[in-house]
């Protein structure tokens, strides 16, 4: 694997290999790289989880992270994304983790000589989030075949929804969406359902963050109205199957996508997703850097 740009590029075999390796690493079975390796984590959009868990994954594998802060870099003087990346390559970075607001920013990077791991591109893809979500689902159910996964919320702006829909369908799960009409995306062949009609059948209910920063003035829901129609309320929670789980990529808008009292409830795997993110990113880094174990 030379780059990790989107879930489109991974086969079901690739995904399962990454999951199995991440689970091994979670069990403590990994050895840091012996060769010196350098990575720059280039985040042009805010991040808590993705950036910090890549840094944790890099440290656990003995990789040196080169600090980069877009707001105090020459990006503020007009440096292009390509020139920032070429600079990192020229000074000796072995790979780049990039989050950027432009969907498919990586199309401009074809001449780059080092691997890119996509940490999220606009409303396009978020492959490592999808992989850690898949790892978390696999840990709970041991298989994807026939699982009913309901993804609810801001579908059209969500790179997580797109990446998970691509991967889960490939792995044999049945994905359905629930979203306000304005946030539906017809480019994906997925049926939209009412949350109240689907809540009792789902094995996994994944709520998505309302992405206010991508809406402009187009949002006309109050928080309460959104929560009552599209959120995980206490009443819906009580109607879920006994074994069903609640997921959210986070950050969560508490009491909007999920009643705040459910975020750390027994059904919620939200913090397990974050924990798994470190091991999945270690697994991806090992894949990118090849056979050295």
Residue 115 within binding range of ligand CP, rule CB under 6 A:
no
- Nearest distance from residue 122's CB to ligand CP, in Å? 13
Phi, psi of 209 (to 5 degrees): -65, 140
Q: For residues 51 and 236, which CB has a smaller minimum distance to ligand CP in the complex?
A: 51
Residue 211 within binding range of ligand CP, rule CB under 6 A:
no
Q: For residues 158 and 198, which CB has a smaller minimum distance to ligand CP in the complex?
A: 158
8 Å CB contact between 251 and 48: yes
- Nearest distance from residue 10's CB to ligand CP, in Å? 18
* H or E element at residue 270: helix 270-288
Size of the site for ligand CP (CB under 6 A): 9
* Distance (Å) of CA 273 to CA 19, 71, 217, 264: 13, 29, 32, 12
8 Å CB contact between 153 and 179: yes
Q: For residues 99 and 176, which CB has a smaller minimum distance to ligand CP in the complex?
A: 99
What residues between 30 and 49 interact with ligand CP by CB under 6 A?
47-49
Q: For residues 54 and 199, which CB has a smaller minimum distance to ligand CP in the complex?
A: 54
What residues between 47 and 66 interact with ligand CP by CB under 6 A?
47-50
- Nearest distance from residue 202's CB to ligand CP, in Å? 21
Residue 63 has what DSSP assignment? P
Residue 6 within binding range of ligand CP, rule CB under 6 A:
no
- Nearest distance from residue 120's CB to ligand CP, in Å? 6
Q: For residues 19 and 247, which CB has a smaller minimum distance to ligand CP in the complex?
A: 247
User: Two tokens at 244?
Assistant: 């069903």
Residue 127 within binding range of ligand CP, rule CB under 6 A:
no
Residue 261: count other Cβ atoms within 10 Å of its Cβ: 11
* Distance (Å) of CA 73 to CA 42, 103, 121, 201, 213: 11, 22, 20, 49, 23
Residue 212 within binding range of ligand CP, rule CB under 6 A:
no
Q: For residues 48 and 80, which CB has a smaller minimum distance to ligand CP in the complex?
A: 48
- Could you tell me where the beta strands, DSSP code E, fall in the chain? 38-43, 64-66, 95-100, 116-121, 148-152, 174-178, 204-207, 245-247
Residue 183: count other Cβ atoms within 10 Å of its Cβ: 21
Rounded to whole angstroms, how far apart are CA atoms 145 and 37? Answer: 38
Residue 165 within binding range of ligand CP, rule CB under 6 A:
no
* Distance (Å) of CA 197 to CA 88, 194, 208, 221, 236: 50, 5, 18, 21, 10
Give the interface segment with ligand CP, choosing from 83-91, 178-186, 244-252, 281-289 (CB under 6 A). Answer: 244-252
Residue 125 within binding range of ligand CP, rule CB under 6 A:
no
Residue 249 within binding range of ligand CP, rule CB under 6 A:
yes
Q: For residues 121 and 203, which CB has a smaller minimum distance to ligand CP in the complex?
A: 121
What residues between 273 and 292 interact with ligand CP by CB under 6 A?
none
Residue 195: count other Cβ atoms within 10 Å of its Cβ: 20
Where do contacts with ligand CP occur on this chain (CB under 6 A)?
Answer: 47-50, 120, 129, 249-251
């Amino acid at each position: 694997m030379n780059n990790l740009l989107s879930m489109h590029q991974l086969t079901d075999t690739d995904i399962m290999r990454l999951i199995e390796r991440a689970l091994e690493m979670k069990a403590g079975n990994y050895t840091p790289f012996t060769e010196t390796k350098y990575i720059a984590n280039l985040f042009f959009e805010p991040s808590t989880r993705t950036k910090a868990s890549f840094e944790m994954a890099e440290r656990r594998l003995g990789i040196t992270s080169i600090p980069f802060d877009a707001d105090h870099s020459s990006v503020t003087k007009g440096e292009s994304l390509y020139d920032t990346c070429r600079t990192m390559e020229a000074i000796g970075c072995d790979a780049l983790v990039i989050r950027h607001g432009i969907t498919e920013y990586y199309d401009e990077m074809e001449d780059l000589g080092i691997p890119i791991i996509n940490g999220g591109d606009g409303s396009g893809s978020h492959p490592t989030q999808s992989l850690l979500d898949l790892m978390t689902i696999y840990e709970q159910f041991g298989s994807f075949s026939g699982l009913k996964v309901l993804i609810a919320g801001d579908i059209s702006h969500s790179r997580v929804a797109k990446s998970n829909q691509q991967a889960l369908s490939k792995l044999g799960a049945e994905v359905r969406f629930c979203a306000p009409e304005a946030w539906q995306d017809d480019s994906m062949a997925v049926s939209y359902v009412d949350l109240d009609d689907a809540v009792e059948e789902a094995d996994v209910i994944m709520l998505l963050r309302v992405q206010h920063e991508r809406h402009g003035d187009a949002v006309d829901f109050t928080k309460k109205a959104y929560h009552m129609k599209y959120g995980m309320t206490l009443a819906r929670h009580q109607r879920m199957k006994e074994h069903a789980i609640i997921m959210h990529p986070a950050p969560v808008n508490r009491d909007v996508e999920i009643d705040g009292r459910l975020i750390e409830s027994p059904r919620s795997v939200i913090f397990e997703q974050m924990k798994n993110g470190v091991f999945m990113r270690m697994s991806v880094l090992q894949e990118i850097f090849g056979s050295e174990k």
